[in-house]
Chains A and B, each alone.
Chain A
């Protein structure tokens, strides 16, 4: 039972353009959402998060949007850079407990 879904396995974007990564969830009890970036042979690196009481959080080039009614969140990267090429995981949490992860989206930023 996949409670967090990332339906796009891959995304290619030109350098300088916007990257939009999407995530859907099914559990309405999720109260905190995170995005992680992962390079091969490394652990996930925290990028940005958002509480369920907000609908937007911004940190430099990264913005996360949360639409609770649609159970959907997205990560926007503007402008995209070649160093952003990695696998991006969406994760969600209920209370103080473990994270539920999506299956990831591989972002390739083309120079």
Chain B
């Protein structure tokens, strides 16, 4: 069990550019979650998938954000036309069926210049 992995670990981009992050959950974890964490705050929920279905989206997830999990395994989070306010740590977590605990990856730190 290698844990949740996220790539890239760091991303620096210019305002207006598009970025895409990837999350590989723990094998056989059917639920996958995306969170965002800014300085001094706890993680805030963005969206989650059960298998390939996106079941819930936070109001934080503006229309510039899109997430996919096409085959129910890895997931991508894309931010279009990035803004400086998008600078944050983007965290992915996964959870096994019939269990309660979400396990987090190391995160992708996004800096928008």
Chain A residues close to B by CB (< 8 Å): 4, 32, 34, 36, 41-46, 49, 51, 89, 91, 93, 96-104
A96 to B50, CA, bound (A): 11
Asked if A98 and B104 make an inter-chain contact with CB atoms under 8 angstroms apart, the answer reads: no
Q: How many Å from the CB of A43 to the closest CB on chain B?
A: 4
Q: Which residues of A contact B41 (CB under 8 A)?
A: 103-104
Q: Which residues of A contact B44 (CB under 8 A)?
A: 101
Asked if B104 and A100 make an inter-chain contact with CB atoms under 8 angstroms apart, the answer reads: no
Asked if A98 and B101 make an inter-chain contact with CB atoms under 8 angstroms apart, the answer reads: no
Asked if B107 and A98 make an inter-chain contact with CB atoms under 8 angstroms apart, the answer reads: no
A97's partner among B35, B48, B105 (CB-CB below 8 A) is B48
A31 to B56, CA, bound (A): 19
Q: Does B72 contact A (CB under 8 A)?
A: no
Chain B residues close to A by CB (< 8 Å): 4, 6, 31, 33, 35, 40-45, 48, 56, 58, 91, 93, 100-107, 109
Q: Which residues of A contact B43 (CB under 8 A)?
A: 44, 89, 99, 101
Q: Which residues of B contact A103 (CB under 8 A)?
A: 40-42
A44's partner among B45, B58, B104, B109 (CB-CB below 8 A) is B104
A sample of 9 more A-B contacts (CB under 8 A), given A51-B100, A96-B31, A100-B45, is A46-B104, A98-B33, A98-B35, A98-B48, A99-B43, A99-B45, A99-B102, A102-B42, A104-B41
Q: Which residues of A contact B42 (CB under 8 A)?
A: 4, 89, 91, 101-104
26 of the cross-chain contacts (CB-CB < 8 Å) are A34-B101, A41-B107, A42-B106, A42-B107, A43-B4, A43-B91, A43-B93, A43-B106, A44-B43, A44-B91, A45-B104, A46-B102, A46-B103, A49-B100, A49-B101, A51-B100, A89-B42, A97-B56, A98-B33, A99-B35, A99-B43, A100-B45, A101-B43, A102-B42, A103-B40, A104-B42
